[in-house]
Structure 1
């Protein structure tokens, strides 16, 4: 039955971010009691270790230090003499020249997973805040898919003589990434040896010296590939890939938006770090997100969370959170390797809310399956680059989006007893609202950091190691064997797989 009683207001506000958990059907007293039952006894010590960069990733025998990447001691937060800052300003000023002496106009970030999703999401969201005075236009593109589909779309619109490729790879050996790098290299060298009439050696030298930047935790592999040390950026092995956008992996964010925007992003995340470390339970945004999520997973047996942003700048957030959450906590063994036979991390899915209303929201309102949801909305948007009339019209569109967000969230919570479809809108779906008064680099950084700390807390509750990905690694090994079988035209797996491998011979 739809709910008739109105739920009391439950909100936490931090620097223009409003976290509203009123629709979780949980009181502060109930969530406090649940925390006492489910938070580990040493939670405060574990949380402090994360903040200090001493928390241990047991299976890989590494510390977990991504929080330090955005701390006040980070080299990106202070001074202009770091190689990272110098690279960005050289590229954005037009002072980086390609092999034929032309200024770089395009940057292609080649990475996958954490080396792609975070930079792509953030560059898209914060592009309008680019603060560097930029007389020179630089466009940043993102390529990740191993099938070459994205590269197929990018190569025709960029010039080999004016394009720099960022090879972003923690291991500097990811098969997906280097499949794209190899193709990009063939494309560039063909141009240099053809149109520019360079010798193969000259073309190779020009490609390595002028058109590549390496970002990795494996500096020796970058050197072995031939990338000059001056064009290498490193980060620690202790920074997990899906937590790495705050490190040098964020180079593409800075080339898209400028150094100052990148610093503001880190500052907002650092403010959320302090909030997570210091705020009491019922005023602590990441803790409340984590505990509500665990309650829904365990007590209500809801296995999925829909991420529904109602601002186009958050369009890539659902994909980013899929990796952050599902690769961290989608596990059935504890950090010490013991099997688990109870629910852990939920399925994360979702999409851009205004478009989802015309697609999957029908199922959310009247379908059979239970779900949880996180709604994200921006209440106001400035558009100073437009005329007053256009600004006013855009403000009305923002209000339309806010109204739809609040309406659908309300209906998913309370349901409806309309005469046209009596009792077919059951409601009772727990959800959060993360509302920003304005989107800024700081508030964007705060939201992403809040989700990171939510995942960390839930991992502790479920006794998981949220900082490894054994299933992903095993899948890579199996894929290597399958690729070898395709190359050898020789399958020895199962009838279905062998059949498809056999079909590759007939092309």
Structure 2
């Protein structure tokens, strides 16, 4: 079947979808006697024991039927198949998109640069596993023959946000399950206060540093590397005995005696999609052990396989994507809030901000032509219940309706709790998330307008027993694939990020002393 790349507004199914604006009243659907049946019905199994529930979304059988037609007309699953079989999907940079291959092989072997890419990624994972085991066993030690106890990742953007979120998500689980090996810390911001704070709280002599830069030329990362090397030298330590690199084989960091070891990635994996590559693999394997990282990859692979299902009602990432496009382009909602009711996922929304907004924040299509409909929404979020005491006021009673995506778990990671006023903390957490879903959907009438809630605020919930490596991998892949499917629908290239580049170039102009006009005037405000 030939693949056709069309703008969303050219698809007949989308035109039908536009006639279904405000087709569903959540107040009626969830507030009446049949509400419980709807909650039970609108459930889709995900990988690794997760479930996606969309009962509080503004959809019904009619809307779902048109969304199914839209997925078929837009050839969404076929485009996904093209992607994992090695088609040049990243049209902006004329590259394949292969992050799914870091956790398994869905289709045929993909050959590039003269090698089998699946075997290449598998080999790098194995090399990282062997290195981590040598560090843990004491075969690789510091200059005094002592074990390393801390790993510090130096990177920015996708080299920081995803790996940091994944580490924090599994830290308590690993400690409770006896797989915690090393503390992990992260340096990302070029602001010297970031590196200073991390280094001052770190035992340098027992720390191994991971420099992550695919090109080996990222300004912020190399600046922080120099900051770290300076600190090591001042402590009387040889940086070459404390640093490894995750980079491409063609970068200046590869095959370099300044590093204990180098692990490789390539141009077919974008930074925001790199948590399942060596970018996340090195730090997670050192922190928790290679088996935990392998389980994380297995969870992601389960979700990738589900994403190849053609029926959206059995494909949670595809269904989530379709409903999101309905909300963005038909309901005209500007934002989406991601609300994990789990402290383990405290930095997960920050990762999703980059994943979603850097991928689909585009105003031209795959061919460089202007598009005249909204694309990616603004993504934000905080863990519950903290967010309830922050921005939920606007979510409940503000003038914009903002769709919500809750993430919740029946059990905590630490296996530690206390009973207060007849219930545990975990039960109180779960009670809050279920109450919020209903409060947003059904609202509350009150004679006092200040205390009235209109309801009709749509949400979904992704839930499981607890955050484990497999669950986390499946959750990550769900959002990666959701973003991919939405990019296909909007006909944008979700795999480049030209919007990141202009500011970088102007910063170099400022630092070179060549700034003029208003740019120079702004630099003078900060004493440059």
The two structures share one fold, judged by TM-score above 0.5? yes
* Cα deviation code 1:270-327 (max 9, x no counterpart): 0001111125211210011100100000111101000111011111111000000000
1:118 and 2:151 aligned: no
* Cα deviation code 1:122-181 (max 9, x no counterpart): 111112343999899521101101112221111112233222110011211111111111
What is the TM-score when the length of structure 1 is the normalising length?
0.88
Query: Within 5 A, what are the aligned runs for 1:355-394?
Result: 355-381=386-412, 383-384=414-415, 390=417
1:245 and 2:275 aligned: yes
Q: Is the 8 A contact 1:2 1:414 kept in 2?
A: yes
Equivalent residue of 2:151, what SS?
A: strand
Q: Distance in 1 between matches of 2:410 and 2:88?
A: 37
Q: Distance in 1 between matches of 2:129 and 2:465?
A: 30
Equivalent residue of 2:214, what SS?
A: coil
Task: Give the counterpart of 2:234 among 159, 167, 190.
Answer: 190
What is the TM-score when the length of structure 2 is the normalising length?
0.85
1:313 and 2:344 aligned: yes
1:257 and 2:285 aligned: no
Q: 1:405 to 1:75 in 2, by over 3 A?
A: farther
Equivalent residue of 1:348, what SS?
A: strand
Give 1:225 deviation, angstroms.
5.6
* Structure 2 residue aligned with 1:198: none
Equivalent residue of 1:376, what SS?
A: strand
1:326 and 2:354 aligned: no
1:502 and 2:524 aligned: yes
Q: Distance in 2 between matches of 1:133 and 1:41?
A: 44
Q: Distance in 2 between matches of 1:46 and 1:227?
A: 42
* Stretches of structure 1 lacking an aligned partner (at least 5 in a row): 193-202
* Structure 1 residue aligned with 2:484: 456
* Structure 1 residue aligned with 2:324: 293
* Structure 2 residue aligned with 1:436: 464
Give 1:52 deviation, angstroms.
2.7
Equivalent residue of 2:235, what SS?
A: helix
Deviates more, 1:326-335 or 1:40-49: 40-49
* Cα deviation code 1:445-502 (max 9, x no counterpart): 11110111111111011110000001112221122112223xxxx64131xx433422
* Cα deviation code 1:71-91 (max 9, x no counterpart): 069569979993211111122
RMSD: 2.7
Q: Distance in 2 between matches of 1:115 and 1:313?
A: 19
Deviates more, 1:339-348 or 1:36-45: 36-45
1:146 and 2:146 aligned: no
Give 1:436 deviation, angstroms.
1.1
* Structure 2 residue aligned with 1:280: 311
Q: Distance in 1 between matches of 2:69 and 2:150?
A: 53
Q: Distance in 2 between matches of 1:428 and 1:132?
A: 40
* Structure 2 residue aligned with 1:412: 440
Deviates more, 1:466-475 or 1:77-86: 77-86
Give 1:207 deviation, angstroms.
1.5
Q: Distance in 1 between matches of 2:408 and 2:255?
A: 46
Q: Distance in 2 between matches of 1:96 and 1:301?
A: 56
* Structure 1 residue aligned with 2:517: 493
Equivalent residue of 2:153, what SS?
A: strand
Equivalences, count: 482
Q: Is the 8 A contact 2:163 2:279 kept in 1?
A: yes
Q: Distance in 1 between matches of 2:323 and 2:170?
A: 29
Task: Give the counterpart of 2:216 among 164, 169, 172.
Answer: 172
Equivalent residue of 1:447, what SS?
A: helix
Q: 1:26 to 1:207 in 2, by over 3 A?
A: same
Equivalent residue of 1:234, what SS?
A: strand
Deviates more, 1:25-34 or 1:464-473: 25-34
* Structure 2 residue aligned with 1:163: 207
